Homo-oligomer: A and B are copies of this chain.
């Protein structure tokens, strides 16, 4: 097939547009599309307009905005491949805030190329990888006058807000987004030196709660020893969330979680990964559930973290206050076999049980909880992605998982009923969400080649839906 040509004319075309792509990425970085900031509407609109202009120029039709109650998503499609499956290509146009500004070497919203990297907020997450994907599609469409399968595009505007209205957008526009599989230009390659494909994510749930022990803060000189202290109550509750072996004490939390199959353990053990080296970078002593390797703990086992505590006096020096209220933020990573709703409910009941009679517990925030997801090992899109990476890198990609959670995977599974394959050419070390975010310029070439190779794999006319 055409996919086996050593030099694909579409790739030649795409690579010839490399400088234009970099210039376009610089223009996109110049749009401060910080979805979390109420005043960022101008930046959001500028980013939308640029992506829409690109899609129109590339020949996509039905370019429109999908409303879900928050920042709109951009949709577009090329549906000219009658009788073939439909692939939905996903990315997002919003970016993280740039704080702390003083830690950037160059201004976050002015792209700067240094040492083979393009720096700027959103360079890697997700404007760069998304532009690579769209440019690959555009090059094939320009070269061939068609695409191998029907393509729908969805560019979200609230990924950095936890995709808070994505589910609503998919529900409201389900027919216009119907597809057999989703290929995401978001996410990150695990490592720069090893071709990998991510086939699973952990689920996530977050919850904030407060305990109150008095109507107002009290002075320990007047009340010390006779009234409860909200920070004592909170500390006791938080400490009780793990037992002495570090296991989570929520009743039923581990129910239904079998030990990984020997084949899976062997597969993970074969991944070239030095846990001790990797952990040494953190400066942390390794901990974890007994009986599991580091990768098993990260990818196959759930965890619970206290992400923040506030209570009492936080200023300089001492203040002999007995805090009346204290707050905690928790997050949990869930794995296959754990039902988010059931875990969420069990956690809330557990907190109520741990809260002593002298305290009033309030759950003050509670995000949408999402389940772990896993792309079936024999999914045709995953197979196409593996072949594309083998062809363009000369190496068989390693199947990996991530300990993180991608709301889109669970939402797409539930609403559109299909799987999401991650195919981003950002790399995990590119300072996502941090100062000096960058995108490797080499990833542009690698990404264009891989996306075009993957599209060629789809020309074989196989189905795209997983079992």
Contact = CB atoms under 8 A, between A and B. Distances in A.
A223 B287 CA distance: 10
Interface in A293-307: 294, 297-298, 301-303, 305-307
A441 to B, nearest CB: 25
A108 interface: no
A226 B289 CA distance: 8
Contacts of A302: 225
B303 A220 contact: yes
Nearest to A242: B232
Interface string A129-152: 000000000000000000000000
Given A226-B279, A357-B285, A320 B307 contact: yes
22 contacts: A202-B224, A216-B282, A218-B282, A224-B298, A225-B403, A226-B287, A226-B297, A227-B285, A228-B284, A232-B239, A232-B306, A235-B306, A305-B320, A307-B313, A307-B319, A308-B313, A309-B311, A309-B312, A309-B326, A318-B329, A318-B365, A319-B329
Interface stretch (A7-15, A207-215, A374-382, A417-425): A207-215
Interface in A107-129: none
A363 interface: no
A345 interface: no
Contacts of A218: 282, 284
Contact of A239 (B239, B286, B306): B239
Given A306-B229, A309-B311, A283 B216 contact: yes
Interface string A316-349: 0111111110100101010000000000000000
B329 A224 contact: no
A2 interface: no
A403 B204 CA distance: 47
B204 A320 contact: yes
A196 interface: no
B227 A282 contact: yes
Contacts of A320: 204, 206, 305, 307, 331
A191 interface: no
A204 B289 CA distance: 41
A98 interface: no
Contacts of A215: 282-284
A310 interface: yes
A306 B214 CA distance: 15
A367 interface: yes
A288 interface: yes
Contacts of A226: 275, 279, 286-288, 294, 297-298
A358 interface: yes
Interface in A223-262: 223-229, 231-232, 234-236, 238-240, 242
A202 B214 contact: no
A219 interface: yes
Given A208-B318, A235-B238, A402-B221, A307 B312 contact: yes
A5 interface: no
A451 B234 CA distance: 48
A323 B294 contact: no
Given A214-B282, A283-B324, A309-B326, 14 more contacts: A218-B282, A224-B333, A226-B288, A227-B286, A229-B305, A232-B239, A232-B306, A234-B309, A287-B358, A305-B320, A306-B312, A308-B319, A309-B312, A318-B329
A286 B227 CA distance: 5
Given A224-B305, A301-B225, A309-B312, A367 B318 contact: yes
A348 to B, nearest CB: 16
A307 to B, nearest CB: 5
Nearest 3 interchain pairs by C-beta: A221-B404, A215-B283, A308-B312
A309 B220 contact: no
